Amino acid sequence: MTSIVRVEIASEFKGAAVVLLAMNANGLTAFMSAIANVIRPTDREALQVEISGVSHVIAVKNDKADVELRPGKVTWCFSAAKLGEIFEKLETMKGAPGPCHHFVDITSPAETLILSRDEYV
C-alpha cells in the first residue's frame, strides 16, 4: 500500500482554521519514523524526508510549534517536547482499530494541528 501524507490549512474546520495532517496507516508509519529519527538522542537538529512526493523538513527549535507550508515542501519546527507529544499521539493512533485523530496545540499558521489517520485521505 502506498504511503499517503497530506498537509493543508483547512480554513473552515468546525468554524476555525487548522492545520490538517491526513495520513493513511503507511503514511502515519513513515511520518512517525521521520520524527523518531529527529528525537532520538543524537546531535541531529533537523531531518528532511520525502513522503507522498512532498519534502518534509522536521526541525527541533526550542519554544517553537510552527508549520510552514509551501508548494512541495512542509517545514515542521517544534520543540523536542512537542515532537515527543506528537510522536506519542501518532503511536496511539497507529494501534487504533479504525480511523482516528488527535489535536495538538501549535502557534502558526493556526492554533491547532489535527493528526488524522484514515479520515480525510
> For position 63, which CATH number holds?
3.30.1360.220
User: How many independent structural domains does the chain possess?
Assistant: 1
- Spatial distance between the Cα atoms of 39 and 22, rounded to a whole number of angstroms: 22
- Spatial distance between the Cα atoms of 121 and 98, rounded to a whole number of angstroms: 14
Residue that is written with C-alpha cell 488527535 in the block: 102
- Spatial distance between the Cα atoms of 56 and 67, rounded to a whole number of angstroms: 10
Set of cell numbers at residue 104? 495538538
Using DSSP bridges, classify how beta strands 73-78 and 54-60 pair: parallel, antiparallel or unpaired: parallel
Domain that residue 35 falls in: 5-117
Give residue 42's pLDDT. Answer: 65
Give kind and range of the element (H or E) at residue 37.
helix 25-39
Cβ atoms of 47 and 34 within 8 Å: the answer is yes
Say if pTM beats, i.e. exceeds, 0.75: yes
- Spatial distance between the Cα atoms of 57 and 121, rounded to a whole number of angstroms: 21
Instruction: Check pLDDT > 80 for residue 87.
Output: yes
Q: What is the pLDDT of residues 43-52, one digit of tens each?
A: 678 899 999 9
Lowest mean pLDDT among 9-18, 24-33, 104-113: 9-18
What would the mean pLDDT of 68-90 be, rounded to a whole number? 96
